[in-house]
């Protein structure tokens, strides 16, 4: 469910007050404009497809995948009927194909009820998702931010966020988890909004 505009506005105002560095980024980047991904299953499939490859390569594989299954076939029920060999034909590695099939099977059988995840806490969502082959904490955090719209997720392992923090705060090297969370402390409880502005700062 999209967060009310008033809550987003409160978050942006909080970040402006709490962090002068981020205040400057917000001024340059403009309004917060993150769009949620409505189809939770599709979002997780695409996250798996995109792992450890360039954005261009990921886009190409996503197009081939969608062409193969068709708009009506992007469902757990249909994808669970496919084989590793089927998915290899659209450019997936054997490993990623097995990950997608594990996800589809779990969702289809109901052991991973995506429609109920919004009722869980952030930690509970992460715990449920990392049980799936190929889904780690980073993918689960992206799901929390971009699919569930959670506003206080700090994706400390995200390279883009770490790169932005290094540049914005004048660090000599990429920050580790402890440093990320220390810098993010003033952002709470709107770390997701801050992370979005970190990503945007890389484009400015």
Active site residues: 158
Q: How far apart are CA 198 and CA 160, in angstroms?
A: 8
Cβ-in-10-Å burial (0-12, 13-18, 19+) of 70 comes to exposed
Secondary structure of residue 169 in the 3-state scheme: coil
Q: How far apart are CA 27 and CA 138, in angstroms?
A: 28
Secondary structure of residue 144 in the 3-state scheme: helix
Residues 49/197/138/101 CA torsion (nearest 10 deg): -30
Cβ-in-10-Å burial (0-12, 13-18, 19+) of 164 comes to buried
């Amino acid at each position: 469910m999209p967060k009310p505009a008033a809550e987003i506005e409160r978050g942006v105002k909080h970040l402006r007050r709490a962090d002068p560095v981020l205040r400057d980024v917000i001024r340059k980047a403009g309004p917060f404009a993150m769009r949620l991904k409505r189809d939770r299953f599709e979002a997780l499939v695409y996250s798996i497809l995109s792992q450890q490859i360039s954005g261009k390569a990921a886009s190409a594989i996503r197009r081939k995948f969608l062409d193969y299954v068709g708009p009506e076939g992007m469902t757990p029920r249909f994808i669970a009927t496919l084989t590793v060999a089927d998915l290899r034909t659209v450019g997936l590695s054997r490993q990623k194909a097995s990950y997608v099939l594990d996800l589809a099977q779990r969702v289809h059988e109901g052991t991973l009820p995506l429609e109920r995840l919004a009722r869980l806490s952030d930690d509970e969502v992460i715990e449920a998702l990392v049980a799936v082959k190929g889904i780690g904490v980073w993918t689960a955090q992206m799901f929390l931010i971009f699919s569930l719209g959670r506003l206080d997720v700090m994706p400390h392992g995200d390279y883009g966020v770490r790169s932005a923090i290094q540049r914005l705060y004048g660090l000599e090297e990429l920050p580790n988890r402890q440093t990320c969370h220390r810098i993010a402390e003033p952002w709470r409880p709107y770390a997701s909004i801050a992370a979005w502005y970190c990503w945007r700062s890389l484009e400015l």
